[in-house]
C-alpha cells in the first residue's frame, strides 16, 4: 500500500529523476540484456540490443526485507510520472503491431512502478489525481478487452484488485483535495458500477457531497447498484443503455453481466419450463442484454435446446450452473469503436496537444 519508507527522518523520499527511467537502471538492463522489445533502439543487434532512452520506462521491483531504500535519483518527480503515464497510453497502447494482451502486460508493470514511486514520496495533489485517473481507466478498459482470454493470459482477479486499490486511493484524494475534483463524478459513478450492489459502495455514495451525489452520472450508477440488490435487472439494463456516451462506465458494469444473466436465466427457466413451450431467442437476447451469436454460445455452454430460433427450457436445466463465461458485448464494442485509446484513457479531447507536449518532455 502507500507506505513511508524513509525510516531515518520519518519523511517521504523526494524524487529527483526527471526521465521515465533512471540512467542507472537503463545501463543495468542494457548490460544484463533484459530490455523489453518496446524499449530497444531501432536497427539493434539481435543478440545485444541497445536501449532507446526515449522509450525506456522504469520497471516494477518488488520490495524485499533488508533492501536499501531507493536513492532520490532513482525516484521520478511528479511531472515525470505524469509524462510516463501519458507516454504509455499515447505511444505504447496504440501499437497496432501487438496484441492488447502483450501491451497490457508491459503497461501493467510500468504503471505499477509509477504507483510505487508515488507511494515512496507519499505523493498527493494534482499529479497524483491525474495519474490515478488514467491508471483506473486503463484497468477498467483492459478488464473488458481481455475478459475472454484464459487465465494464463489475463488474470481478472489481479486486475480487479489493482483497480480497487487505485479507485479507493483516488476517491480519498478527492476528499482531501476538493479543488481537484473536476472528474470526480465520473469516478464516483465508476466506483459504484465496478462494485455493483455492494453496500459499502452505496454507503460511500450516500455520504458524499450533495453536488456529487446528485450529479447525473452518480444518480444513474446509484440506481443500477440499488437495482442489483433488489434483483431488478430491467433497471440495470436501462442504466447500461443510458451510458452510451460513457463506454468505460459500461465496461465497469459489464463485469457483473454473468451474475445478472445467471439470475435472469434461473427466473426464465422457472417460468418457462415445459416440453411444449419455447421462447423466441429475440426475447431472451433482450432479457440477457446479448446478441444472437452470444446466445448461441451460451445455450451450448448451458446445454439448453436451441431450435428454429427458439430456446426450450426444462426443470432439470441449469441445476449445475455455477457461472457464465464473459463475452464481449456488441453495444460496448460499437461504442468503443467511436473512440481512440488515448481519448478513452487520457480523458481528454485534445490528444494532438498532449502529443506535442509529450514530444517536448521526452526530448528534454
Cβ proximity of 331 and 250 under 8 Å: yes
DSSP category for residue 311: E
pLDDT attached to residue 39: 95
Q: Is 95:33 a contact under the CB 8 Å cutoff? A: no
Specify the range with the lowest mean pLDDT, choosing from 77-86, 102-111, 224-233, 274-283. Answer: 274-283
pLDDT of 44 > 90? The answer is no
> pTM for the complete prediction?
0.90
Model confidence over 243-258: pLDDT tens digits?
A: 999 999 999 999 999 9
Do 240 and 253 contact (CB within 8 A), yes or no? yes
Q: Do residues 189 and 197 make contact, with C-beta atoms less than 8 angstroms apart?
A: no
Residues 27 and 56 sit within 8 Å (Cβ to Cβ): no
What's the mean pLDDT in 116-121?
Answer: 95
Q: What is the mean pLDDT of the chain?
A: 89
Dihedral over alpha carbons 337, 341, 344, 346 (to 10 degrees): -160
What pLDDT is recorded for position 8?
41
Band (358; pLDDT cuts 50, 70, 90): low
How far apart CA 100 and CA 103 sit, in angstroms, is 5
In the chain, the percentage of residues whose pLDDT exceeds 90 is 70
Query: What is the rounded end-to-end Cα distance, in angstroms, of the chain?
Result: 32
Confidence (pLDDT) at 142: 98
Check residue 244 and give its pLDDT.
Answer: 92
Between CA 65 and CA 227 the distance in angstroms is 47
Amino acid at each position: 500500500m502507500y507506505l513511508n519508507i524513509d525510516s531515518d527522518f520519518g519523511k517521504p523520499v523526494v524524487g529527483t529523476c526527471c526521465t521515465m527511467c533512471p540512467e542507472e537502471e537503463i545501463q543495468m538492463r542494457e548490460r544484463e540484456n533484459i530490455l523489453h522489445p518496446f524499449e530497444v533502439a531501432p536497427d539493434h543487434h539481435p543478440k545485444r540490443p541497445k536501449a532507446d532512452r526515449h522509450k525506456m520506462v522504469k520497471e516494477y521491483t518488488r520490495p524485499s526485507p533488508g533492501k536499501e531504500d531507493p536513492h532520490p535519483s532513482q525516484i521520478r518527480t511528479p511531472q515525470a510520472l505524469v509524462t510516463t503515464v501519458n507516454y504509455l497510453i499515447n505511444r505504447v497502447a496504440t501499437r497496432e503491431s501487438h496484441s492488447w494482451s502483450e501491451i497490457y502486460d508491459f503497461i501493467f508493470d510500468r504503471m505499477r512502478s509509477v504507483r510505487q514511486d508515488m507511494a515512496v514520496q507519499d505523493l498527493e495533489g494534482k499529479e497524483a489525481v491525474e495519474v490515478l485517473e488514467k491508471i483506473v481507466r486503463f484497468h477498467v478498459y483492459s478488464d473488458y478487452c481481455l475478459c475472454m482470454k484464459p487465465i494464463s493470459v489475463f488474470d481478472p482477479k489481479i486486475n480487479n484488485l489493482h483497480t480497487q486499490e487505485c479507485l479507493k486511493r483516488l476517491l480519498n484524494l478527492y476528499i482531501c483535495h476538493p479543488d481537484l475534483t473536476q472528474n470526480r463524478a465520473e469516478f464516483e459513478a465508476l466506483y459504484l458500477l465496478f462494485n455493483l450492489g455492494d453496500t459499502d459502495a452505496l454507503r460511500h455514495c450516500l455520504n458524499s457531497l450533495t453536488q456529487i451525489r446528485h450529479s447525473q452520472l452518480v444518480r444513474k450508477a446509484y440506481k443500477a447498484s440499488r437495482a442489483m440488490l433488489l434483483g431488478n435487472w430491467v433497471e440495470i439494463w436501462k442504466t447500461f443503455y443510458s451510458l452510451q456516451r460513457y463506454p468505460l462506465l459500461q465496461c465497469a458494469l459489464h463485469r457483473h453481466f454473468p451474475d445478472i444473466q445467471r439470475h435472469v436465466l434461473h427466473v426464465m427457466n422457472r417460468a418457462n419450463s415445459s416440453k411444449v413451450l419455447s421462447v423466441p431467442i429475440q426475447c431472451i437476447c433482450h432479457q440477457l442484454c446479448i446478441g444472437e451469436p452470444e446466445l448461441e454460445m451460451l445455450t451450448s455452454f448451458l446445454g439448453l435446446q436451441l431450435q428454429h430460433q427458439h430456446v426450450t427450457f426444462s426443470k432439470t436445466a441449469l441445476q449445475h450452473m455455477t457461472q457464465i463465461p464473459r463475452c464481449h458485448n456488441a453495444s460496448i464494442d460499437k461504442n468503443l469503436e467511436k473512440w481512440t485509446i488515448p481519448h478513452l484513457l487520457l480523458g481528454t479531447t485534445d490528444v494532438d496537444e498532449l502529443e506535442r507536449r509529450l514530444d517536448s518532455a521526452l526530448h528534454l
